[in-house]
Structure 1
């Protein structure tokens, strides 16, 4: 497993922490990013198969 580092200004960090407290996708950001990557990669594979 790899770690992705995201650099945010202090204001955005504070906003992000509030979003995480509210639940939703931001509470599970790692899972949300992994799902988005899988979806986009799937689209890429479909495009490559049509060439």
Structure 2
């Protein structure tokens, strides 16, 4: 999975696997935190 981010006028545009999504900075930070937590949980289950 590849994720690209571009900041314009206080909003973040994420492109993930060819799909675009525009978020506020706060929402983008929350999404990143949720993904990091999911990755850590998966690592704990695997190992």
TM-score, length of structure 1 as denominator length: 0.50
- Judging by fraction of residues, say which structure has more strand: 2
Unmatched runs of 5 consecutive residues or more in structure 1: 1-17
Deviations 1:9-48 (A, max 9, x none): xxxxxxxxx742xxx3186110000000001110000000
Q: Does the alignment pair 1:25 with 2:12?
A: yes
TM-score, length of structure 2 as denominator length: 0.53
Aligned pairs (5 A) from 1:4-43: 19-20=9-10, 24-25=11-12, 28-43=24-39
- Judging by fraction of residues, say which structure has more helix: 1
Q: How many residue pairs align between the two structures?
A: 31
Query: Which runs of 4 or more aligned residues in structure 1 lie more than 4 Å from their structure 2 counterparts after TM superposition?
Result: none
Greater gyration radius: 1
SS in 2 for 1:25: strand
